Amino acid sequence: MPSGVQQGSPAAERQDRRAGDIAEPPGPSSDLFVGLRSLRDTVTSRHHSRDFAFAHAYYLRSRVLALGIIFSLLSPLWILVDSLVLPAELLRYTLAGRVVLMLGLVGVLMVALFSRERIRRIRLCAGMLLALPAAFYVLVLVMLPSGEIHHLVGYGFIPFLLVASLSVFPFTILESLFAGLAMLGLLMFSQLLDGSWMTGRGVEAFWLLSSLLVVSLAANHFQLSLLLRLYRQATHDPLTGLFNRGALEVHLAKIQAWQREMEGGQAPDGVPCSVLMIDLDHFKQINDTYGHSVGDAVLRQLAHILTGQTRKQDCAARYGGEEFVVILLGSDGIRAQEVAERIRRAVELHDFVDHEQRPVSVTTSIGVTELVLNEPAEQALKRADEALYRAKHEGRNRIVYAELPSQA
Ligand SMILES: Nc1nc2c(ncn2[C@@H]2O[C@H](COP(=O)(O)OP(=O)(O)OP(=O)(O)O)[C@@H](O)[C@H]2O)c(=O)[nH]1
C-alpha cells in the first residue's frame, strides 16, 4: 500500500476500490464525465504526458509539411491571378510580398523537415505557417494606396482560408482560439481599411468567420481526442492502464538518447537509470484457486501499487502476463534496490481479497539492475530477468541485484 495510508483505513479502502476500478470500461451513465474529461484534454496540453507530446508533435509535423507544400504552391499560382486582375501599376505591391511569403514558407518547411522530435519548434512552425500569409495580407493592405483595395480579388478570403486551415491541425482548443481571434482581428483591420466595418456586408463576413472558427474548434476537439484515444489504445495495457511492452521499448530508447545527450554536459558522469523486473509469485495458483477475475483484480492492484510507489518521472509497464517492468530515471543501483524492497513490502502488506472478502496472500520477486550507457536496452532487461529468475530460485518474495558487466 502506498506510504502514508494506514491499512484498513477508509482512505486505504478508497484506494483499493480505485485500484480495482482502473481501466474498467465506462458505463452509459459516465458518458458525460468521459466527454468532459476529453474536453479537459483538448482545451490545453497541460495534462498530456511527455510521451504523448512527442506523438502529437509527430502528427503536427506531418500536417505542417502537407499544408506548407500546398501554401508554397498556391502562392506563386496566385501571382498569375494577380497579373490577370490587378492593374499593372499595383502588381509591384503584391509581387514583392509574394516572393517574401514564398521564401518564408519554404523556410518553415525546411525547419519542420529537420525538427523530427522538437516539440516546441514544430509548434512554432505550425504557428508560422498561419502567421506568414496573415502578415502578407496586412502588408499588402498597408502598402496599397487607399482607394485601390477594391482591386484585390480573393485577398479578403485569406482570413477565412486560415481559419479553415486550423481544422487541419490537431491543435488544442486554446491554441486555435488564439489564432482564430487573431484572424478576426485581421478581418476587422481589413474592413476598417475598405470601409465595410459595421456595414451589413461587414457584419455578415464577421459572423461567417466566427461560425467557421467554431466549426474549426469542434474539428480540433474531435481530432485531438481521437488522437489521444488511439494513442492510449496503442500504448497502454487495457487491464492495468500501465504502458504496454511496445511503449516501454520506445520509452527506453528515448531515455537512452537523453542520457547520451546529458553525458559530458549537464551530467558529466551520465544520468543513472535502473530497471526493475517484477513478477508475482505463484500467480497461476491464485488464478486456479480464486478464479481469473480475482487474478485480474490482483494485477490491477499491483499496477496501482507500482504507480503509488514510484515518482512521476519513473515509468511502470506491463511487460507480459504477470510480469511488470519499472524504469527508475535518475536512480542508481543502490537507490533502485531500496525502491524494489519498498514495492516488495507494499505488495506483501497489501490486503488483497477474493470475491467473499477473504484474504489472498500475494508476494512478488524482483530483479534489479542498472541501465548501462550505450548498451542495448534489451541487455539490461535480460540482466534484470536473470536476476528475477535467481530470486524465484532462491525462494521467491525477495529482490536480487544483477551486477553490471564491468562489476561482475
Ligand atoms: N488473471 C490473469 N491471469 C493471467 C493474465 N496473464 C497471464 N496470466 C496467468 O499468469 C499465470 C502465470 O503462471 P506461471 O508462468 O506458471 O507463473 P507463476 O504461477 O506465477 O509461478 P512463478 O512465476 O514461478 O512464481 C498463468 O496461469 C497465466 O494464465 C491476466 O491477464 N489475467
21-51 pLDDT, tens digit each: 333 333 334 455 556 667 888 999 888 888 8
327 and 314 in contact (C-beta within 8 Å)?
A: yes
CA gap 405, 408 in Å, rounded: 5
High-pLDDT (> 70) share of the chain, %: 88
Compute the Cα dihedral for 296, 301, 302, 306 and give only its sign.
positive
296 lines ligand 1 (CB under 6 A): yes
- 27 in helix, strand or coil? coil
From the CB of 284, is ligand 1 less than 6 Å away?
A: yes
Q: For ligand 1, is residue 263 a contact (CB within 6 Å)? A: no
Distance of CA 279 from the midpoint of ligand 1 (Å) = 9
Does residue 339's CB lie within 6 angstroms of at least one atom of ligand 1?
Answer: no
- Cell representation of residue 202: 461587414
Q: Is 281 in the pocket of ligand 1 (CB under 6 A)?
A: yes
What is the amino acid identity at position 41? D
Please give the distance, rounded to the nearest whole angstrom, from the Cα atom of residue 296 to the centre of ligand 1. Answer: 10
Q: Is the pLDDT of residue 1 over 60?
A: no
Query: Which phi and psi (to 5°) does residue 4 adopt?
Result: 90, -5
How much is the pLDDT for 269?
Answer: 64
For residues 265 and 137, which has the higher predicted lDDT (pLDDT)? 137
Cell numbers representing residue 52 in the block: 504523448
Ligand 1 binding pocket mutation candidate from 242, 299, 322 (most atoms within 8 A of CB): 322
Choose among 193, 80, 81, 88: nearest CA to 145.
193
Q: What is the pLDDT of residue 312?
A: 85
Give the position, in ligand 1's atom list, of the atom nearest the Cα of 285. 19
Tell me, what's the pLDDT at 126? 96
The pLDDT value given to residue 344: 98
pLDDT of residue 40: 85
Q: Are 22 and 303 in contact (CB under 8 A)?
A: yes
Task: Please give the Cα distance from 272 to 373 (Å, whole number).
Answer: 8
Beta strands in 200-331 (DSSP E): 273-280, 315-320, 323-329
64-90 residue pLDDT tens: 999 999 999 988 888 888 888 888 888
| Residue 268 confidence (pLDDT) | 57
Concatenated DSSP letters of 334-394 = HHHHHHHHHHHHHHHHS--B-TTS-B----EEEEEEE--TTS-HHHHHHHHHHHHHHHHHT
Mean pLDDT of the region 154-163: 92
Q: Is the CB of residue 236 below 6 angstroms from any atom belonging to ligand 1? A: no
Q: Residue 78: CB partners within 8 Å, gap ≥ 6?
A: 98, 154
- Pick the atom of ligand 1 nearest to 396's CA: 25
Q: Which of 278, 285, 287 to mutate for ligand 1's pocket (most ligand atoms within 8 Å of CB)?
A: 287
- Backbone angles phi and psi of 291, in degrees to 5: 100, 160
Q: How far apart are CA 258 and CA 214, in angstroms?
A: 40
Q: Rounded distance, CA 325 to CA 251, Å? A: 12
How high is the pLDDT of residue 29?
41
> Which of the two residues, 402 and 269, has the higher pLDDT score?
402
Q: How far apart are CA 398 and CA 62, in angstroms?
A: 48
Helix (H) or strand (E) holding 399, with range, is: strand 399-401
Average pLDDT over residues 127-144: 92
Residue nearest to atom 16 of ligand 1 (CA): 284
Judge whether residue 13 has pLDDT over 60. no
The pick from 282, 283, 347, 365 for probing ligand 1's pocket by mutation, whose C-beta has the most ligand atoms within 8 angstroms, reads: 283
Q: What pLDDT score does 22 carry?
A: 31
pLDDT at 131 over 80: yes
Residues 305/328, Cβ–Cβ less than 8 Å: no
Helix ranges restricted to H, 86-118: 88-113
- Per-residue burial over 205-219, b if 16 or more Cβ lie within 10 Å, else e, is bbeebeebbeebbeb
Q: Which atom of ligand 1 is nearest to the CA of 298?
A: 1
Average pLDDT, the chain: 87
Average pLDDT over residues 101-115: 94
Look at residue 243 in the predicted model and tell me its pLDDT: 95
What's the N-to-C CA distance of the chain in angstroms?
34
Q: Give the mean model confidence (pLDDT) for residues 298-302.
A: 97
**Which of 244, 284, 293 to mutate for ligand 1's pocket (most ligand atoms within 8 Å of CB)?**
284
Cα of 346 from ligand 1 centre, angstroms: 20
Gap from CA of 293 to ligand 1 centroid (Å):
13
Nearest CA to ligand 1 atom 1: 295
DSSP state of 314: S
Nearest to 97 by CA among 82, 108, 111: 82
Q: Given pLDDT bands bounded at 50, 70 and 90, which one contains residue 154? A: confident
Q: Is the pLDDT of residue 199 over 90?
A: yes
Q: Indicate if ligand 1 lies below 6 Å from the C-beta of 279.
A: yes
Identify the DSSP state of 265. Answer: T
Confidence of residue 17 (pLDDT cuts 50, 70, 90): very low
* pLDDT the model gives residue 209: 97
How far is it, in rounded angstroms, from Cα 319 to Cα 326?
Answer: 9
Q: Give the three cell numbers for residue 305.
A: 501499487
Measured in residues, the chain has a length of: 408
Radius of gyration from C-alpha coordinates of the chain: 29
Is ligand 1 within 6 A of the CB of residue 76?
A: no
Quick one: pLDDT band at residue 317, thresholds 50, 70, 90?
very high
